């Protein structure tokens, strides 16, 4: 069974996941303002395990930072991660807004995010 077939992200409570080779700075700023949690390249776990931007959507639960770390480490070590990322890669950034509309999500990026204090709108 491949990583893609087993819905591994669901095992971590992630309902939907989208990868992108590089969101624009403007889009990252908008996503950061709405995200319940944002992790960037300043985080050592992100430095070691993330090479693309990603958005993880949660319908029911609010994830802990530890859960996100465990998923990133798991994905980094999995032999089928390339196919999993490929099958969940977002081709059109416009599709992302309809996917995250009124949902809780976590933003993870391999770029540096501005360090601002905000409270996401729920």
What stretches of 41-100 show up as alpha helix (H) in DSSP? 44-49, 65-77, 81-87, 93-100
Count of H-run helices and E-run strands, the chain: 6, 4
Express each pLDDT in 69-109 by its tens digit. 999 999 999 888 899 999 999 888 888 888 898 899 999 99
pLDDT of residue 119: 53
Ordered by start, the domain boundaries in the chain are 8-108
pLDDT of residue 67: 95
Q: 22-59 burial, b if ≥16 CB within 10 A, otherwise e? A: ebeeeebeebbebbbbbbbeebebbeebbebbbbbbbe
Express each pLDDT in 3-52 by its tens digit. 444 478 888 999 999 999 889 999 999 999 999 999 999 999 999 999 99
pTM score above 0.75: yes
pLDDT of residue 72: 96
């Amino acid at each position: 069974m491949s990583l893609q077939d087993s819905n591994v992200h669901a095992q971590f409570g992630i309902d939907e996941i989208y990868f992108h080779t590089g969101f624009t700075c403007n889009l990252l700023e908008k996503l950061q303002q709405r995200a319940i949690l944002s992790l960037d390249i300043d985080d050592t776990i992100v430095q070691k395990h993330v090479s693309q931007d990603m958005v993880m959507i949660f319908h029911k639960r609010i994830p802990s930072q530890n859960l996100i770390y465990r998923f990133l480490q798991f994905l980094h070590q999995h032999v089928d991660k390339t196919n999993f990322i490929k099958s969940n890669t977002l081709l059109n950034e416009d599709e992302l807004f309809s996917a995250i509309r009124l949902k809780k999500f976590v933003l993870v990026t391999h770029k540096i995010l501005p360090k601002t204090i905000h409270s996401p709108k729920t």
